[in-house]
Amino acid sequence: DIQMTQSPSSLSASVGDRVTITCRASQGINNYLAWFQQKPGKAPKSLIYAASNLQSGVPSKFSGSGSGTDFTLTISSLQPEDFATYYCQQYKSYPLTFGGGTKVEIK
Amino acid sequence: QVQLVQSGAEVKKPGASVKVSCKASGYTFTSYGITWVRQAPGQGLEWMGWISAYNGNTNYAQKLQGRVTMTTDTSTSTAYMELRSLRSDDTAVYYCVRDEYYDSSAYPRLWGQGTLVTVSS
């Protein structure tokens, strides 16, 4: 199985900050990586697919990059509605696997 | 609009079975696969398996093999996930997720609202 390791597991940031979350795969996954945002008590929401493609309707302050084993999700200017938990997921091969999540909290 | 609507919360005793439904609307059901994901309280996301709504092919997480069955009913555009021999650590919110296709691959894209399954004696 491909292991997905996210870092940090949590972070505190202020409104307006630039935030970067990292996701590392235990083996190469090309660009078969998705990012999801989850708010408390809600279902996850798709943000990015194929490592860097923004889902329709997702604001451009979100961006993704990377290929192979190392990936990043960046939020360019954190807003109150962005405080949530973010997950990466590889879909290169079964079983699909998620990172452990990164909780973004208000400083 | 495209949506997945799941069945309501369930409370089950250890050893029982649960069957969660996921009714799709707004798209051609047989054109997309359905993934099932669960999330234990306060924990991360766990992939459970996938089913093709086109031909019923499945792929299950190894840890659930033998206890989980995923099916579809194309006449009602509904996917089902049945989990047997329930244990307390099966307590979780269960999500169905519709695939999206890009670059000859599929990834989970559209999530149902989730179904809380509580296993307690």
HEC secondary structure over chain B: CCEEEECCCEEECCCCCEEEEEEEECCCHHHCEEEEEEECCCCCCEEEEEEECCCCCEEECHHHCCCEEEEEECCCCEEEEEECCCCHHHCEEEEEEEEEEECCEEEEEEECCCEEEEECC
- With CB atoms and an 8 Å threshold, state whether A98 touches B113: no
- With CB atoms and an 8 Å threshold, state whether B107 touches A49: yes
Chain B residues in contact with chain A using a Cβ-Cβ cutoff of 8 Å: 35, 44-47, 50, 59, 61-62, 95, 100, 102-103, 105-114
Question: What would the pLDDT profile of A27-39 be if each residue is shown by its tens digit?
Answer: 999 999 999 999 9
- With CB atoms and an 8 Å threshold, state whether A43 touches B46: no
- Report the residue of B45, B64, B65 to disrupt the A interface, i.e. the one with the largest count of A CBs within 10 Å: B45
- Report the residue of A91, A93, A97, A103 to disrupt the B interface, i.e. the one with the largest count of B CBs within 10 Å: A91
pLDDT in tens, chain B (121 residues): 999 999 999 999 999 999 999 999 999 999 999 999 999 999 999 999 999 999 999 999 999 999 999 999 999 999 999 999 999 999 999 999 999 988 888 899 999 999 999 999 9
- The alpha-carbon gap from B3 to the nearest alpha carbon of chain A, in Å, equals 13
Half-sphere exposure of A97 (CA within 13 A, CB side): 19
